[in-house]
Amino acid sequence: MCPPGCRSASTAAGSPTRPDRTARTEPTAGAALSDPTDAPAAVVSAVRAAFTTGRTRPADWRVRQLTALRALLDGNRTELADALHQDLGKPRTEALAVEVDFVIREIDLLLGHLDTWMRPRPVTVSGCPTGSAAELHREPLGVVLVIAPWNYPVQLALLPLAGALAAGNAVVVKPSELAPASSALLARLLPRHLDPQAVAVVEGGPKTAQELLAERFDHVFYTGSTSVGRIVMRAAAEHLTPVTLELGGKSPVFVDRDAPLGHTAKRLVRAKFTNAGQACVAPDYVLTDPATARALEGELVRALRRLYGPDPATAPGYGRIVSTRHFDRLTGLLGAGRTVVGGTGDRASRYLAPTVLAEVPADAPVMREEVFGPVLPVTEVAGLDEAITFINGRERPLAVYAFTGNDVTRRRLAAETTSGAVVFGMPAVQVMAPELPFGGIGASGTGAYRGLHSLAAFSHDKPVLDVPFRAAPGALSSAPADAGNRRTPAFPS
């Protein structure tokens, strides 16, 4: 806090000062970045020019952008749901719940706390002259590139966008070309609602992404596969650009012998087969002992029938695979183990039945690569010790899930495995809590975001230290007792 009469440095940098949250962004004179076909270099240059003017730093600009983004979502629900159904076969209720309303809740959280989160944070410092005062000021990084995936093309484009705007950045959004209807809709709606000088959309495929990554950004936020994440990180390294990478899951589920299997199967099925399994947080495979595996098989079949009926192909709540290429990749994984249920599909409509595979060997292809589809392999282990060894012998997952009533088992899984998160009793639920950082580790990602953690991801914590003119130099000017005549001043005179 500043003493009375001083001007807070954070106000000049754009910390909130109780702005009017009903205001709406009005485009000002200048080059409007509303054409997603513009050359990536020209788009990035124009967005950087807007950031350089300081227009994105004030608190009222940030709040206007978040409010306008909320209005975009709330006012275009039908169009957004239609686009998501066209791209992925998502039912309307699911599209609105996990894409539109999910982002609205995040925006509401940011708007409700932005005033507090952007205030300077006093820090007590040692080793400085008496009377010194220090604060940490959150300042925007600059121009942020958001590269969004196809599986949740609205949610995973707009969640990081909201965080970057809340932190006062200018943003370039690259939607996924594999969700063309959603991409085109975002390219049309975002420039209409947000500041067209500081927020741009660039559509295109891999070539466009490469051209964007060749430009200098101040942060790159990428959601997608681990293999492409490596490409993004290499490109960002050319400019020493920091990255947030939300990558593959391959998240295991340990089912203990004391788990209530009916309850377990219901939650497993819903978490695994929503969006036809095309979610990074979906359970990827199950580890359990042989007797539990046999008993779990029947419960999984019953849970699937309760959720999708006797023929999931006709169920309104069951989605489709995004492309024939991904369909072909998934059907190539079906040969492992014994098929308990599913295993059929229709390439023309990109329908792949919810599939459970039993007695799957640990070295099968479906156990080596992330499934990212409606195929759930079950691999047998002797017990907890072997499950922990199995998990630790592979790349670090986005999450470790477990169904167990044993407190010792819970403590061991939390302490003896490394992952982005550990969740007991309900897979994938961690994404519903914006208070928790969401992110991976190692091959599953680097960095985290959501809520306050988005502010941290898209801001620089700048120390501001104030040393009074008349302060005594203190201990910093004194040499150690054993230094003899070798006196080196702490600060240049």
- pLDDT given at position 3: 37
Alpha carbon distance, N-terminus to C-terminus of the chain = 30
In the chain, where the domains are located: 9-23+32-247+445-464, 251-434
Relative to beta strand 345-346, strand 338-341 is unpaired
Residue 1 confidence (pLDDT): 40
CATH architecture entry for 251-434 = 3-Layer(aba) Sandwich (3.40)
| Residues of the chain where predicted confidence (pLDDT) is lower than 70 | 1-38, 471-493
Give CA separation, 181 vs 13, 37, 81, 296, 468, in Å: 38, 16, 10, 39, 59
* Total Cβ atoms within 10 A of residue 401: 30
The pLDDT score that the predictor gives to residue 18 is: 36
Q: Is 246 part of the annotated catalytic residue set?
A: yes
Of the listed 246, 297, 299, 370, which one is catalytic? 246
Query: What's the pLDDT score for residue 130?
Result: 87
What pLDDT is recorded for position 239? 97
Angstrom distance (rounded) from CA 443 to CA 330: 21
* pLDDT given at position 138: 97
pLDDT of 37: 53
The one catalytic residue among 99, 106, 135, 280: 280
Phi, psi of 103 (to 5 degrees): -70, -35
Q: Kindly state the tokens that stand for 106.
A: 């995040």
Alpha-carbon separation of residue 413 from 247, 386, 392, 400, 402 (angstroms): 22, 12, 11, 8, 8
Beta bridge partners of 220: 145, 243
Contacts of 483 (CB under 8 A, 6+ apart): none
Task: Tell me what pLDDT residue 249 has.
Answer: 78
Domain with residues 9-23+32-247+445-464, CATH architecture = 3-Layer(aba) Sandwich (3.40)
- Residues facing 201 on adjacent strands: 173
Residues 6+ away with beta carbon under 8 Å from 199: 33, 47, 65, 161, 165, 170, 171, 172, 173, 190, 191
Tell me the two tokens of residue 78.
């039908």
| Cβ–Cβ < 8 Å for 173, 161 | yes
The rounded Cα 300 to chain-centroid distance in angstroms is 29
Distance CA 401, CA 217 (A): 36
Residue type, 186: L
Query: Residue 246 forms beta bridges with which residues?
Result: 223, 445
